[in-house]
Amino acid sequence: MNNKMKKPALTLMTLSMVALALAACGSNNDNSASSDPSPSASASASASSTPAESPAPEAGSVKLKFYAQYSGVEIPVYDAAKEAMKQIMPEVDVEFEVAAQDDEQKIKTYAAAGSLPDIFFASSGLIETLKKSDNLYVMDDIVKANNIEALLNDSSKPMLWNKDGHSYSVPNVGQWAGIIYYNKELFEQNGVKVPTMYSEMLEAVKAFKAKDITPLAVFAKEKWPAALLLDMAIVGSGDVGGLKKLDNGEGNFSEDAFVKGSQKISELVAAGLISKNAFNTTADDAAAQFASGKAAMYVNGAWSMANIFEKLGDKVDIMYTPLADTAGSWNMSGGGFNQGFAVSKNSKKAEIAAKYAALFSIEFAKQRVIQLADPNSILVEKLVPTNGLNTIQQKYSDDSVNFKTMTTFAWGYENAKFKTFIEDNSQKLLSGQKTDDFISDSNKALETARK
């Protein structure tokens, strides 16, 4: 996942010269001439080519709204990226609006009302929706003019382009797997074996339930974690395509792996997998429940490693496929997709916003590595985390070379009807719906979604 390319020395030299030239003729408040130019700054400079007779825009004169996950450990990342952008596009000032943890409902409401922020995070599913409603700015020219693709490593370049050949967002993070975090101390204190496959997971759930400890903290107020658990169970039951296979128009829920995976979720729920309040629980609530020792395990994406380790330190470890039939599976749920920071087509400053979003994405990806030690950078540039990798990040970095396959997270589904019903039905299964009813309902919904 972390393929990185060595940057040709000549390219570096050329980009550095261009960036220094930009710094020399830049803003009135220029005090950064001694700083090393970043690739994104260099790319920006190469595209600017501002005519000598054009006056430089006043610093901060262009105000943009930026809808973002501006919370928790992400705040310093956004702030650092914003600060770096002051050197690249000093005329722009962005105001962050904290994104709701609501499965993109608020941003979709903005779109329906014609009031999208200038810049916002867009998943591949949201991109497909906003494409149909003609709300997205096509970023092809911005991507090419700023040489964005050259800044991405080979494994990340496909995330820049939609299946229709256009770019609607620039990726800001790497490809992550869905994982289950566990509290090592709780497992040791209660004499519970750490699951390596489904039969052990079922025993662990029963053991913690018997001790009045919630086995798995799930923030089911959002719908995608239920779909992730089901996908993990299906992949672990023998179909590495998981739910993404159905989204692609192949197969149905009556196939063996889908029936078996659904039965695993039903069995775990019956054994007491989640708390009664799971469907009113937010991501922050679930993380706090796990950090306090009230839950033994916690499901989320691998991007949460920095945040979870900050809360639990060496008490926490990660497991990848505890819903698989056998131990040692490296077929993963989660994965990459076309997503990142996008721009509203109706923005009054759409072209400026698009350039800012594209270059901000690169600076954001850079700061995720420097400040949070993401072990799967999307960038060619080799970056060193300020504090090194924590224990679970190092484990993930070492293990990720063994990953054989990945599916995608729910927001990566491209069929909007499929995404809607599989998230709804997965929640019903997680709330105790019988497997036969789930299979029957889902097959009917699948047939409708494919029309």
Asked if residue 257 is part of any domain, the answer here is yes
CATH code of the domain in which 258 resides: 3.40.190.10
Q: 310 and 212 in one domain?
A: yes
Asked if residue 10 is part of any domain, the answer here is no
pLDDT digits (tens, 9 = 90+) for 104-121: 889 999 999 999 999 999
Distances 138 to 127, 172, 243 between C-alpha atoms, Å:
11, 17, 29
Predicted TM-score (pTM) of the model is 0.77
Q: 330 and 438 in one domain?
A: yes
Residue 357: domain span: 62-175+336-406
Q: 276 and 206 in one domain?
A: yes
Q: 137 and 82 in one domain?
A: yes
Asked if residue 26 is part of any domain, the answer here is no
Nearest to 362, CA basis, from 106, 9, 15, 10 = 15
Asked if residue 2 is part of any domain, the answer here is no
Asked if residue 16 is part of any domain, the answer here is no
Asked if residue 81 is part of any domain, the answer here is yes
Asked if residue 24 is part of any domain, the answer here is no
Give the separation between CA 169 and CA 127, rounded to whole angstroms. 8
Residue 324: what residue type? A
Query: Per residue of the chain (451 residues), what is the pLDDT tens digit?
Result: 333 333 333 333 333 333 333 333 333 333 333 333 343 444 444 444 455 556 777 888 999 999 999 998 899 999 999 999 999 999 999 999 999 978 788 999 999 999 999 999 998 888 988 999 999 999 999 999 999 999 998 878 888 998 899 999 999 988 899 999 999 999 999 999 999 999 999 999 999 999 999 999 999 999 999 999 999 999 999 999 999 999 999 999 999 999 999 999 999 999 999 999 999 999 999 999 999 999 999 999 999 999 999 999 999 999 999 999 999 989 999 986 677 999 999 999 999 999 999 999 999 999 999 999 988 889 999 899 999 999 999 999 899 888 999 999 998 888 889 999 999 999 999 999 999 999 999 999 999 999 9
The rounded mean pLDDT for the chain is 87
* pLDDT the model gives residue 155: 76
Q: 318 and 190 in one domain?
A: yes
Q: 284 and 210 in one domain?
A: yes
* pLDDT the model gives residue 14: 37
Q: 272 and 252 in one domain?
A: yes
Q: 360 and 236 in one domain?
A: no
Q: 161 and 126 in one domain?
A: yes
Q: Provide the domain count of the chain.
A: 2
Q: 263 and 171 in one domain?
A: no
Mark which of 406, 422, 438 sits at the end of a domain.
406
Q: 257 and 207 in one domain?
A: yes
**Burial readout 175-194 (b: 16 or more C-beta within 10 A, e: otherwise):** bbbbbbbbbeebbeeeebeb
* pLDDT the model gives residue 39: 38
* pLDDT the model gives residue 54: 65
* pLDDT the model gives residue 179: 96
Q: Which of the 8 DSSP states describes residue 28?
A: T
For the packed helices 124-132 and 416-430, what is the interaxial angle rounded to 10 degrees? 130
* pLDDT the model gives residue 128: 87
Asked if residue 210 is part of any domain, the answer here is yes
SS3 call for 155? coil
Give the separation between CA 347 and CA 134, rounded to whole angstroms. 13
Q: 294 and 238 in one domain?
A: yes
